[in-house]
Amino acid sequence: MAVGKPRGKRFVLERTVLSVIIKLKIQLEQEKHMKFIHLSDLHLGKRIHGFSMLEDQKYILEQIIQIVKQEQADGVLLAGDLYDKPVPPIEAVQELDRFLTGLASLGISVFAVSGNHDSAERIAFGARLMQERDIYLSPAYDGSTAKICVEDEYGEVWIHLLPYVKPAAVRHAYPQEDIQTYQDAVQAAVRHMEVDTDKRNILVAHQFVTGAWTCDSEEISVGGVDNVEASVFDEFDYVALGHIHSPQKVGRPQVRYCGTPLKYSFSEADQEKSLTVVQIGEKGSVQLHTIPLKPLRDMRKIRGSYLEVTARSFYQGMNLDDYYQITLTDEEDIPDGLQRLRTIYGNLMRLEYDNQRTREDQEIDRAEEIEKKSELELFEEFYQLQNNQPMSDQQRELARKLAEEIREDEGREP
């Protein structure tokens, strides 16, 4: 036994040393990766059911700056919808200024594009001046796009900035090309970027990619006319997308929506908001992980009768400063129910009823809606429900032709 003890100690020591070496090696490998924080859809200045979100946005942006600092990120990829409106309120402009200045003071580069909620010209204002502080803003689309080269020990990384584009803008830039759809437009815009696929390439863009699942706070065109296939972006090592508010990949993991930093509708109440951290190594090496964000006030949905939700035993222990949607199940409306409930739930945003009357009203509304819609629109809705993605232009055209053939056959019957 006396002989065995030193060997046991030596084995433990060797294993400990080996473990330390492995950890150091992993750390060194991670340090070789260029690191970016993918962020989008700030919607600064947004109001929800009459409530200003500016205080919540200021809180979350300060949290993001701290995360960027802790992660020792090389840059922030900001994928559009910086503001909620093309002409944002002064307070929203001041908040974006504070955020960008905070990142610049840390020596963090920012690569930002305008989204469909932004004015591309307003976002681009002062872009050449801000470049001196490594704040890169996409110019309004005129046929060319900005691209910035950064370097690490593996060589060049090209970051391409593609603002939200519509077919009309790309058609104007390239009148000789046949550009009808969003697919045509984005395909042409990417083609004219002349991407060198031997290098590492990152795209920052703001478009609706086919297959992404949506929530109530987004503005999506009826029938999916603004859809773009993910294959358009095949030349890029990573695609930092904005526009869809739920974090998700589309197709391959390297084509990704990071989602909004805050919840902007009650359909997002069960989501956990996060930042996406992108680590770029040598060509072909992209590592992703997310960091949760904690809001100043969360969004919550509760339901029950008026007596249930106003009972102290029901709400005891809940954070009553959060934003609430309450669904009352009482058969009769509660007089002045919204204001009475706000004496407990101070940030009650929305009050609904779920009872026999509202269910009958919904059935009537649905029946009237169906009557107003064409056969093709109803079929498109059914297709999206079954497949969790809208029809492509080719599928829509095929369905239209089949519907016409069926109507013609019915017309020929005696």
83 and 216 together in one domain = yes
| Residue 157 forms part of a structural domain | yes
Q: What is the mean pLDDT of residues 195-203?
A: 94
CA-based angle 208:209:215, to the nearest 5?
A: 60
Q: Is 289 helix (H, G, I), strand (E, B) or coil?
A: strand
250 and 266 together in one domain = yes
The tally of domains found in the chain comes to 3
pLDDT at 359: 76
Q: Could you report the per-residue pLDDT of 49-81, keeping only the tens digit for each? A: 999 999 999 999 999 999 999 999 999 999 999
pLDDT at 1: 44
What mean pLDDT is reported for the chain? 85
41 and 109 together in one domain = yes
Cα–Cα distances in angstroms (integers) from residue 318 to residues 9, 186, 314, in the given order: 53, 47, 9
Higher-scoring residue by pLDDT: 133, 21: 133
| Residue 259 forms part of a structural domain | yes
277 and 332 together in one domain = no
Q: Could you report the per-residue pLDDT of 219-232, keeping only the tens digit for each? A: 655 445 678 888 99
70 and 161 together in one domain = yes
240 and 174 together in one domain = yes
Higher-scoring residue by pLDDT: 23, 185: 185
Domain span at 395 = 373-412
197 and 304 together in one domain = no
| Residue 5 forms part of a structural domain | no
240 and 97 together in one domain = yes
20 pLDDT above the threshold of 60: no
Residue 209 near residue 230 (C-beta atoms within 8 A): yes
Q: Amino acid letter at 209?
A: V
Report how far residue 374's alpha carbon sits from residue 402's, in angstroms, rounded to the nearest whole number: 14
346 and 404 together in one domain = no
CA nearest neighbour of 134 among 164, 159, 152, 165 = 159
Residue length of the chain: 414
135 and 247 together in one domain = yes
E strand or H helix at 146, and its extent?
strand 146-152
Q: What is the mean pLDDT of residues 383-387?
A: 60
| Residue 225 forms part of a structural domain | yes
172 and 220 together in one domain = yes
Q: Could you report the per-residue pLDDT of 275-328, keeping only the tens digit for each? A: 999 999 999 899 999 999 999 999 999 999 999 999 999 999 999 999 999 999
| Residue 400 forms part of a structural domain | yes
191 pLDDT above the threshold of 80: yes
Cβ-count burial of 64 within 10 angstroms (0-12 exposed, 13-18 middle, 19+ buried)?
buried
| Residue 366 forms part of a structural domain | no
210 pLDDT band (50/70/90 cuts)? confident
List the CATH number of the domain containing 259: 3.60.21.10
308 and 345 together in one domain = yes
| Residue 204 forms part of a structural domain | yes
Per-residue exposure over 193-209, b if at least 16 CB sit within 10 Å of its own CB, e if not: bebeeeebbbbbbbbbb
Residue 51 near residue 296 (C-beta atoms within 8 A): no
| Residue 24 forms part of a structural domain | no
